Structure 1
């Protein structure tokens, strides 16, 4: 089954959040069979050879292991682990390598929380992302910067708001650095999703979705996802949509609800 016949967008789903009792390579193979691309989190947790053997289309993966945007030591560590991760990404053919303002640890909490982001930190973050672009050109890969919500899931993460990630990525304005615009996080922290997509459109590399509240598949919460799908098509977006959501029940039913929400 191909999602191209039912949706104007390439659809993908985060493998770690579905069929949680199954091996990750089984999940990747099943997503491929169902016509979805595969999103991954941290690669050291997986057998890369087994994932390669699935032949799945890997759409996005965490693009670093440790480090942060905001200071010299953190930036050097982020670049070092991003370079290592780029090699794995190329083995799997991962289309986008994902970044955050700082490394995330247990339960998605920042390893080094920052409550006040200073002007010096903003300048350093932009410098770090410029170094990421240089790395991306050297390795022939593309990185994305993801927004996160601060009130519920990721308090203390610098540059978490979509308006912050948009400001950084648009100021660099390079095709090797795009936005991973996560609308679940944006709905919690900012709202006004259609206008946010419109403002971000020139820099979007991927859009990720989950319903609010609960972070389950589309249709379980408050967001009118089919309305957003129609708005995205009208504004000319044809890039990937990734479901980064827990299944509220059966994983395949959750995927079909996701597909239906983005079928126009």
Structure 2
């Protein structure tokens, strides 16, 4: 019988377990992704049995890095630090590579707990200070946090510091190895566009790239984004780190994962 040649990606590929096989237990999803050669992303650790996640054998690429708190006011910052430290310890238990933050706490449907339409200069300074504290705490706990960009027009209206330009400005100004960008290209496409040049600008601070097609937030090949072109551009820039599918499957989940892998296999 002819040997089967494994298809290898230039990147480390992961997929968000909460968004696929949604009728299956989370530990089954984690195990199946692992069998298929993917790392695993998680959204909200308190929703799950940690012992079962550990037993799944998964390598966890990223998970939500806080439960409550905000970047840009004193009370919210203190709560964010408390919550993020608690989550950092859970992340270490699971071996999670990166712990994810947003510009503010998100509630039902991904909407901000406190909607903010105008971000003042004082808020920018406070957010930078808070992220500096996060980076110092991450050093103490031996973990890495990421700050994710979000789109405002469709999914997350009223979220402060949501644009990729905003997250880049904050993370680059803190400039600490324990604080990186989670550059979500689905959100960039909806909110800003210019994906390849955004990747280039963010490159020194990227911890993970996340992807889904537009519209629909499904796997590559279902919408308007040329993800094979993005993959070639990222590789040409020298990026070989994690790329995570944070999207739904339009049909069969395994076919969706295969399409994702193909888009990022050079």
Same fold (TM over 0.5): yes
Deviation digits for residues 163-193 of structure 1 (CA, Å, limit 9, x no counterpart)? 0000000001111000000000000000000
Deviation digits for residues 58-81 of structure 1 (CA, Å, limit 9, x no counterpart)? 000000001110100000110000
2:83 is the alignment partner of 1:64: no
Task: Find the aligned partners of 1:164 and 1:5 in 2 and give their Cα distance.
Answer: 36
1:256 matched to which residue of 2?
258
Task: Find the aligned partners of 2:84 and 2:118 in 1 and give their Cα distance.
Answer: 25
1:206 matched to which residue of 2?
208
Secondary structure in structure 1 of the residue aligned to 2:203 = helix
2:42 is the alignment partner of 1:40: yes
1:105 matched to which residue of 2?
107
2:20 matched to which residue of 1?
18
2:84 matched to which residue of 1?
82
Deviation digits for residues 40-61 of structure 1 (CA, Å, limit 9, x no counterpart)? 0010000000000112100000
Secondary structure in structure 1 of the residue aligned to 2:250 = coil
**Residues 144-159 of structure 1: matches in 2 within 5 Å?**
144-159=146-161
Is the contact between residue 145 and residue 180 of structure 1 (CA under 8 Å) also seen in structure 2?
yes
Is the contact between residue 4 and residue 10 of structure 1 (CA under 8 Å) also seen in structure 2?
no
1:127 matched to which residue of 2?
129
Task: Find the aligned partners of 1:7 and 1:42 in 2 and give their Cα distance.
Answer: 28
**Residues 156-171 of structure 1: matches in 2 within 5 Å?**
156-171=158-173
For normalisation by structure 2, the TM-score amounts to 0.97
1:92 matched to which residue of 2?
94
Deviation digits for residues 104-131 of structure 1 (CA, Å, limit 9, x no counterpart)? 1111000001000000000000000000
Deviation digits for residues 74-94 of structure 1 (CA, Å, limit 9, x no counterpart)? 001100000100111000000
Aligned residue pairs total 262
2:63 is the alignment partner of 1:49: no
Runs of 4+ in structure 1 off by over 6 angstroms are none
Out of 140, 143, 148, the position equivalent to 1:138 is 140
Secondary structure in structure 2 of the residue aligned to 1:185 = helix
Deviation digits for residues 202-237 of structure 1 (CA, Å, limit 9, x no counterpart)? 000000000000001100000000000000001100
Task: Find the aligned partners of 1:124 and 1:6 in 2 and give their Cα distance.
Answer: 43
2:219 matched to which residue of 1?
217
The CA deviation at 1:4 is 8.2
Residues 4/171 of structure 1: CA separation in 2 closer, same or farther (3 Å cut): farther
2:246 matched to which residue of 1?
244
Task: Find the aligned partners of 1:84 and 1:49 in 2 and give their Cα distance.
Answer: 17
The CA deviation at 1:6 is 2.0
2:186 is the alignment partner of 1:175: no
Secondary structure in structure 2 of the residue aligned to 1:52 = helix
